[in-house]
Amino acid sequence: MIFVFLPEAVVPPIPWLFRKPEILMSILINEQTKVLVQGITGKEGAKVALQMKNYGTKVLAGVTPGKGGQEIYGVPVYNSVKEAMENHSGINTSFVSVPAFAALGAVSEAIESGIELINILTEHVPIQDTAKMIALAKGQGERVKGKVQIVGPSSIGIISSGIGKVGSIGGEDPRSVFRKGNIGVISKSGGMASEVSWILTKAGMGQSTVVGIGGDILEGTTFADLLMDFEKDPQTEAVVIFGEIGGTYEEDAAELIRGKRKGESLPASKAGGKFTKPVVAFVSGLFAEQLPSGTKLGHAGAIVYGDKGSYKSKINALKEAGVIIAKTPDEIPELLKKVTIQSFPVVILEGG
């Protein structure tokens, strides 16, 4: 098979592996996504509300206690989530942009009101507050026999190209970076969620859904969680992960993949299913091997104590899962062309 590369402006999609399905699917958000913005009267909340509207996302209402009755870019503002939902049926998603001290209260209100997907932009949320949010979401999901999913804190957002976005991902002009396709992208880093997508787009490979999970020590949605979501998505044929030192989310993802490859039983926390699609991942932080234990780098979660959460730990775990290690992010498209569902290779990119 011969691949012909044209100038960037006219690069076509790769037809044989990343074909466009007749009906576009996605994970987390779709054409039925209807968004409530908590903190809409703040600078960031208002800006993102407008970005989402301009991209075609249905933004129905906003909430800021004590500021009900206003309008922000045509979006009505209410004093509570309950009041907003009484006036706008179908709200199923909340974007949260409030001060860190108010995040737990805002998320709790969204969960108690029955909202199914909550994307938290807010940074510096205390870890104990994040733990409480996750516990509340799990409890609510069990009560309603459904799923309440938190993405964040510190999340850049979620985008399904051509369908909609939640959060600030892609900024004011996502169309210049993202395109429709069959590659799922998961990243701890918000900036690298866009960078990886741009690398794919330039090579003619579009994306199904791109998710910035955030870089805190504790996050509402992990790599393993999203791998299982992508497994169920018929549009997604391969997944790209951007990881970094700190935490064990990369090791957990490796465990999920290794369980599939070696036939091991999976922990109940791994969503109880098999993952069968090719994965390309980037783990940054090789240089941190030379730094003292406990050094914090960038994100709140980028802290390494001993071997736990280290670059070496992640690479070793991924190698044990049958990982192929490449050298640069620019190799991602070429590596994706070589993988097939049948051979099931997993490619991890080594970063510095």
Identify the CA nearest to 83 among candidates 96, 98, 69.
69
Give me the amino acid identity at 176.
S
Active site residue 124: no
Q: Where does residue 93 rank: exposed (0-12), middle (13-18), buried (19+ CB within 10 A)?
A: buried
Which is it for strands 34-38 and 93-96: parallel, antiparallel or unpaired?
parallel
| Exposure letters 247-272 (e unless 16+ CB within 10 A, then b) | bbbbbbbbbbbbbbbeeeebeeebbe
Q: List all residues 6 or more positions away from 326 whose beta carbon is below 8 Å from its beta carbon.
A: 332, 335, 347, 348, 349, 350
Angle at 346 between CA 155 and CA 212, to 5 degrees: 5
Q: How many CA atoms lie within 13 A of 37 on its CB side?
A: 35
Phi–psi pair at 251, nearest 5 degrees: -65, -40
How far is 266 from 199, CA to CA, in rounded Å? 33
First-to-last CA distance in the chain?
Answer: 33
Burial of residue 292, with CB atoms counted within 10 A of its CB: 0-12 exposed, 13-18 middle, 19 or more buried? exposed
Find the largest Cα–Cα distance for the chain. Answer: 63
> How many helices (H) and strands (E) are present in the chain, helices listed first?
9, 15
Contact predicate 64/105, CB 8 Å: no
Choose the catalytic residue: 299, 302, 321, 336. 299
Task: Provide the residue count of the chain.
Answer: 352
User: Which sequence positions are flagged as catalytic?
Assistant: 299
